[in-house]
Copies of this chain bind each other. A is one copy, B any other.
Amino acid sequence: MTQPPGRPDPAGITTIGCVGIGTIGGGWAAYFLARGYDVRAWDPSPDAADRVARLIDAAWPALTELGLAEGASPGRISVYADLEEALDGVGFVQESAPEVLPMKQELLARIDAATAPETIIASSTSGYSMTEMAVAAARPERLVVGHPFNPPYLIPLVEVVGGERTAPEAVQWAADWYEHIGKSVITMDQEVPGFIANRLQEALWREALHMIENGEATVEQIDRSITDGPGLRWPVHGPMLTFHLAGGEGGMAHMLDHFGPSLKSPWTRLEAPELTSQLRDSVVAGCDSEAGSRSVADLVAERDSAIIAIRKAIEQLRQGRR
C-alpha cells in the first residue's frame, strides 16, 4: 500500500461531491448546502435535478429553523450528466447509490479514479461492508462508510467504519470531518453487519413483523405502543440509561440483579444472552460512565423535562393537523 497522502484540512473544504441524489443522497445534499458548501452532484436518472430541487425546497424551512451557515443557499448545487465532471475539484465525496453491490463496487472505483488521492470517499450504505464494496478500487485506503439516517439533513447520527483495506487515519479523518460539519459520529473499530443503530431498529422491526403476522398486534397498535410509550424516553437517554432509571435509586446494577431472571422470559422471539457476571458488570460500568456526575435523581429530572417538551411538541403538531 502506498503511504497515505496528506489529507485536506476539513476547515478548508468548500465543495462536496454527491454521487446519487435520491432520498438519502438528496438529503445529504440539502445538509451540505445548509452548512454553506457548494455541492456538485451526479445521478443517472433523468429527473434527478428536479427531484433533488423539490427535496431541498421541502427541507429548507427545517434547515433554516435549525440555523444556516453564513452564505448557505439552496441554489449552490449543480447536477452533472457526467460523473467525472461532477467530481472535479471536490474536497469530499458522499456516495448514496442504490443498495446494489456491483453498482456500488463500480461506482466507488470510478469515484476513486476521478478524485485527487487525498480526498476521502464515504459511502452511505446501510447494507454492505466497505471490505466487499472496495474490491475494484485502486486506492481502497481512503474509502470509508459514513452511514446516515433518514432524513440526513435532520438526524445527527453518522456511523463511521472502514473496510479491511481502509487506512485507520482515513477513518479518523472522516469522523473528524463529520463532526466538523455538525454530525454526531459513532466510530466503529470493526465491521458489524448493520452497524449499531440498524441492528437495534431491525430487532424491533422484526419483532413487530412477527406480531403482525400472528395477529398479536396491528400496525397502528405497534406504532402507538412506541409513540405514546417507550418512544418518548428513547430520544432523551437511549435504551440503556432508560433501564438504568428503571432500577430506581440502585440504577442499572439493581435493575439487572432484580430483573435478571426475567431477562429470559418469553417476551420476544430474540433469545437473550446469558447474563454472566462479566456482562452484568460491563453494562453497569457503561451506564455509570455514561451518567457521569449525574445522579439518578438528576437523570429523572432530565428525563421528565425532556418528555414534557417532546409531548408538547407532538401535541402541537397533532392539533395543527385537526
Contacts and interface: CB of A to CB of B under 8 A. Distances in A.
A283 B205 CA distance: 12
Contacts of A310: 235, 309-310, 313
A98 to B, nearest CB: 9
A223 B245 contact: no
B271 A219 contact: no
A202 interface: yes
B269 A203 contact: yes
Interface string A220-236: 11111111111111111
B58 A300 contact: yes
A122 interface: no
Nearest to A153: B304
Chain A: interface size category: 35 or more
Interface of A: 22-23, 58-59, 62, 65-66, 99, 127, 149-151, 154-157, 159, 184, 186, 188, 190, 192-213, 216-241, 243, 245-246, 248, 259, 262-263, 265-273, 275-276, 279, 282-283, 285-287, 289-290, 294, 297, 300-311, 313-314, 316-317, 321
11 contacts: A66-B308, A188-B221, A195-B225, A200-B207, A202-B207, A203-B203, A206-B270, A213-B276, A235-B235, A306-B314, A310-B310
